[in-house]
Amino acid sequence: MLLSEFDFNLPKQLIAQNPPENRTDSRLLVSQSPIIDANFHQIADFIKPGDLLVMNNTRVIPARLFGHKASGGKVEIMIERLLNDKQVLAMVKASRAPKLDSFITLENGDKAQIINKENGFYTLNFKTDSLLKLLDEVGHIPLPPYIERSDKQTDLERYQTVFAKHEGAVAAPTAGLHFDDALLESLKQQGIDHAFVTLHVGAGTFQPVKADEITDHKMHSEYYEIDQTTVDKINQTKKNGGRIIAVGTTAVRSMESAAKSGQLKSAKEETDIFIYPGYEFKVVDVMITNFHLPKSSLLMLVSAFIGRERMMEIYQHAINKEYRFFSYGDAMLLERV
């Protein structure tokens, strides 16, 4: 299957640069036949009592840092993941690549030492007692590269789900951004419960697939957790005839990774699962997701879920109807073929 089969032309003006005024103001494309154009606050009209929403409760950290080398040259650090209380894996941008064992001085005067470089990523060791506190002080919200503006104070709240809990992501699980507390409570009152997984989204989520033959692509690895409480809720929902609705591709990847043996099990581990057409889904019945980048692994996941031709038809409909695309954009509700 060729990479060129997952390309499409997107007018630049459809890439959302800011979130809507209210989270539930987003539009919702529903993949019925014919396609339904709705609003996200109407989502209860398209799911049923007894269904279970499964959401990713990872919390985005302020993962973009700025500083300078000893020479004075400017440096930008984009953290990929936290390794421990002092070390991170990161991409480092500078006019000249910094040397091993050299130091980067951050905006507040704190320092980070480069201790390794492998596969394009640097391992940095921070001279601080609390890395998360340091990030809160000088870090910036890591908005995706297609949002062509600097982060603002409002992004601290809006590039974060209302149920974000466990710190570690450097990109938001954006399908969850459309929910607010009132909508979740309203759904629960209607018999539509929710459960959580945790997958710490890495910066690799924005990397396009480059291999001409998609099966040659190597996925980036991400850490995820799914506990026994969530496993039990999922199994009980299926036993009762309800559907499992994944809120976002990260929830899909978590559940499908945890069910790789054929049976859903609790897990705390790394996953590099790559879902593309031909994959047989073991857990997820319905997916809520935003629109994804051309030639991305996430577009391939959606193609596996609803079929490539149907996916391309839906994306063209969304372009024609001027839906807002990507992280701060609108959403789709997709039922598995």
Q: Domain extents for the chain?
A: 3-60+155-335, 64-138
- Beta 103-106 vs 166-169: how paired, if at all? unpaired
pLDDT at 205: 74
Spell out where 101-243 has E strands: 103-106, 111-118, 121-126, 166-169, 193-199, 222-226
pLDDT at 29: 98
Mean pLDDT estimate for the chain: 96
Could you say which DSSP state residue 97 is in?
P
**pLDDT at position 319 over 90:** yes
Mean pLDDT over 34-63 rounds to 98
Mean pLDDT over 121-137 rounds to 93
Look up residue 45 and give its two tokens. 């009209």
**pLDDT at position 62 over 80:** yes
Count the helices and strands in the chain (H runs, E runs): 7, 17
pLDDT at 326: 97
pLDDT at 115: 97
User: Confidence class of residue 239 from pLDDT cuts 50, 70 and 90?
Assistant: very high
Mean pLDDT over 217-238 rounds to 96
pLDDT at 12: 97
Contact 143, 151 (CB under 8 A): yes
Sign of the alpha-carbon dihedral angle for 278, 283, 285, 287: negative
pLDDT at 147: 96
pLDDT at 119: 82
Mean pLDDT over 192-203 rounds to 95
**pLDDT at position 204 over 80:** no
Tell the residue number behind the tokens 């980067």, with chain if given: 104
pTM: 0.95
Q: What is the amino acid identity at position 128?
A: T
For the ranges 16-20, 216-220, 257-261, the lowest mean pLDDT is seen at 216-220
Q: What is the amino acid identity at position 142?
A: P
Question: What are the φ/ψ torsions at residue 311 (nearest 5 degrees)?
Answer: -60, -45
**pLDDT at position 8 over 80:** yes
pLDDT at 307: 97
CATH number of 3-60+155-335: 3.40.1780.10
CATH number of 64-138: 2.40.10.240
User: Which candidate, 278, 282, 284, 281, places its Cα nearest to that of 300?
Assistant: 278
In Å, what is the CA distance from 78 to each residue of 64, 115, 121, 209? 5, 16, 10, 20
Any residues with CB less than 8 A from the CB of 282 and at least 6 apart, and which?
255, 256, 259, 260, 262, 264
Contact 28, 330 (CB under 8 A): yes
Strand, helix or coil for residue 80: strand
Cis, bond preceding 208 (omega within 30 deg of 0): no
User: Which candidate, 143, 126, 144, places its Cα nearest to that of 135?
Assistant: 126
User: Confidence class of residue 207 from pLDDT cuts 50, 70 and 90?
Assistant: confident
User: Confidence class of residue 39 from pLDDT cuts 50, 70 and 90?
Assistant: very high
Between these two residues, 245 and 120, which has the higher pLDDT value?
A: 245
Any residues with CB less than 8 A from the CB of 265 and at least 6 apart, and which?
231, 258, 259
pLDDT at 337: 79
Any residues with CB less than 8 A from the CB of 309 and at least 6 apart, and which?
none
Q: How far apart are the first and last CA of the chain?
A: 19
pLDDT at 206: 72
Mean pLDDT over 86-97 rounds to 94
